[in-house]
Structure 1
Amino acid sequence: GAKLAAPGSPALTVCGDGCFLMHANAVATAVEHDVPAVWVVWNNSGYGSIRGQQATFFGADREIATRFRRASTGELYSTDISAIGRAMGAEGARIDSPDEIADAIEAAIKSERPTVLDIRVDASVAAPGTGSWDLPPLPGPVPDYGW
Structure 2
Amino acid sequence: MLQDALLAYAHFFAILATATTLALEAVLCRPGLRWPQVGLLGRIDLFYFGAAILALASGLARVFWGLKGAPFYLQNPLFYVKIGLFVIVALVSIAPTIQFIRWMRQAESHGDKPVPLAEVGRTRRFVLSELALLALIPLAAVLMARGFGY
TM-score, structure 1 normalization: 0.31
Instruction: Looking at secondary structure, tell me which structure has more helix per residue.
Output: 2
Greater RCO, CA 8 A, separation 6+: 2
